[in-house]
Structure 1
Amino acid sequence: MALLPDINEKQTTENVRNFFNKVFPRLQNMAHISYVEIQSPIITGMPIGAKTDNSNEDKLLTKSYFR
């Protein structure tokens, strides 16, 4: 006895084809996005933190250096 049941490859292929030809375009229309706008997520593994600097202070200091 196998852990997973046998897969009907022809039916699986037909199900995937049906999804991408009929269901997927309908979902795109409902989401108001085109095929070109869909992107994979980018996972860099690097932590992203919020900027804690005072940008107004930086602007004033930079401006004062150039005077």
Structure 2
Amino acid sequence: MEELTIPGMKIIDYDRTADNVSQFLTDRRYYPRLYKMCQQASSDHLQSPSLSGMPGGGSAGNSNEEKLVKYLYAKSIVDGVSQTYDKGSFELKVVLDNVFGRISAFEAMRKLHFENTRYYQVKKRALNEFADGLEMKVNCPDLHVYVK
């Protein structure tokens, strides 16, 4: 069978996409950092930018506004990850529980009734499912890696 090509759709590198998703979810520079930002900075502590009506030439930016934008952006990604998890397949949920450290790889294999080799094939597929789901959420990154 010939490979189906849809205009505007790029060819996905599934192995590299799975690695990219795993890095996004576990590397402290990405999702864990955004998650902590949301946990530590609740919207109650952030104030709306204010205008006094008085002319001012002080600061070059509004730090409250920057903090609020950063918080809202982080929250939209954290919510997107949560929604993708909630709407994902059983395999996706088990794999992500393993990726997040909630369960061991052995426990994940036991829950899915797979041996080592088959589990890692299913893990790769589940991580690609995650990339597909997250891409469709508002303000969330496209974690796919495309073939050039």
| TM-score in same-fold range (> 0.5) | no
Structure whose residues are more often helix by fraction:
2
TM-score range, shorter chain: 0.3 to 0.5
| TM-score between both structures, scaled by the size of structure 1 | 0.42
TM-score calculated relative to the size of structure 2: 0.21
Structure of larger gyration radius: 1
